[in-house]
């Protein structure tokens, strides 16, 4: 794991475990193994490089979940996160946005959902031309599909 949250915002080992548990609760790995857990896509590195504004809030977020969060059962963790999302909805939405943003940049994830790796430019995408013979009914009925002449 990357140097967690940089030197200005160090987390304890317990807090690191809390963060991993939170990420795994928000986005667990898929049952078929194609999609990793959000805890496995280097969220700390993302925070350092792409979301430094959220760094200062991580300890606050973990504080809402409680020191024992990492030791809870899955249903208990879900219950805690639900409570957090309802009591501080704006902060939860900000967190979730960043977790998704990080997650859906991951190469394994993008491959699994059918996207190009990394930036969409310059590789771009192939798009089917489409069947223009579908226009035949419009052309056949163009007496009905007429602009208004003035």
Partner 1 sequence: MAEDIVDVLIIGAGASGAAMAWSLADTRMRIVCLEQGDWTNPSDYPTNAANWESQAFGPYHINPNQRGLDTDYPINNDDSSVNVVNFNVVGGSTILYAAHFPRLHPADFKVKSIDGVADDWPIDYSTLEPYFNQNDRMMGVSGLAGDPMYPPKQPPLPPLPMGLVGEAVAKGFNALGWHWWPSDSAIISQPYEGRDKCLNLGPCISGCAQGGKSSTDITYWPEAIRRGVELRTRSRVREITVNDQGFADGVIYYNADGEECFQRAEVVVMACNGVGTPRILLNSTSPQFPNGLANNSGMVGKNLMFHPVGFVQGVFEERLDSHKGPQGCCILSKEFYESDPRRGFVRGYNMQVTRGSGPLNTAMAGFANGTIPWGAGHHAAFANRFDHVASIGIIGEDLPEAHNTVTLDPQLTDAQGIPAPKITYRYSDNSLAMMAHGLARGEEAMRAAGAIEVTSAGPLRETGWHLLGTARMGNDPKSSVVNHWGRSHDVKNLFIADGSIFVTGGGVNPTSTIQACALYIADTMKKNLANLFD
- Numbers of helices and strands, H then E, in the chain: 7, 0
Name the nearest CA neighbour of 117 among 125, 127, 105, 126: 105
7 binds partner 1 (CB under 8 A): no
Complex with partner 1: residue 9 or 37, whichever CB lies closer: 37
Q: What is the dihedral of CA 129, 109, 106, 121, to 10 degrees?
A: 0
Name the nearest CA neighbour of 106 among 97, 94, 115: 115
CB of 133 to partner 1, least distance (A): 10
Contact 16, 23 (CB under 8 A): no
Site string for partner 1, 18-47 (x = CB under 8 A): -------xxxx-x----x------------
CB of 98 to partner 1, least distance (A): 8
Gyration radius (Cα) of the chain, Å:
23
Site string for partner 1, 73-102 (x = CB under 8 A): -----x--x-----------x--xx--xx-
Task: Give the number of other Cβ atoms within 10 Å of residue 127's Cβ.
Answer: 6
Complex with partner 1: residue 3 or 136, whichever CB lies closer: 136
Complex with partner 1: residue 7 or 86, whichever CB lies closer: 86
Q: In which region does residue 36 sit, left (phi positive, over 0), alpha (psi from -120 to 50) or beta (all else)?
A: beta
Q: Which residue in 3, 56, 60, 145 binds partner 1 (CB under 8 A)?
A: 145
CB of 119 to partner 1, least distance (A): 5
Distance CA(21)–CA(36), nearest Å, equals 14
Contact residues for partner 1 (CB under 8 A)?
A: 25-28, 30, 35, 50, 78, 81, 93, 96-97, 100-101, 104-105, 110, 113-115, 118-132, 134-135, 137-139, 141-142, 145-150
């Amino acid at each position: 794991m990357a140097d967690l949250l940089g030197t200005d915002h160090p987390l304890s080992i317990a807090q690191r475990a809390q963060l991993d548990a939170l990420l795994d609760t928000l986005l667990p790995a898929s049952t078929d193994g194609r999609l990793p857990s959000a805890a496995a896509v280097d969220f700390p590195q993302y925070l350092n490089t792409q979301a430094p504004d959220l760094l200062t809030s991580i300890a606050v977020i973990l504080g809402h979940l409680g020191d024992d969060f990492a030791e809870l059962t899955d249903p208990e963790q879900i219950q805690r996160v639900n409570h957090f999302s309802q009591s501080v909805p704006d902060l939860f939405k900000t967190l979730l946005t960043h977790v998704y943003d990080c997650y859906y940049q991951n190469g394994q994830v993008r491959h699994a959902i059918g996207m190009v790796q990394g930036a969409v430019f310059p590789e771009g995408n192939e798009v089917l031309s489409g069947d223009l013979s579908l226009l035949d009914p419009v052309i056949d009925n163009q007496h009905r599909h007429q602009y208004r002449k003035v």
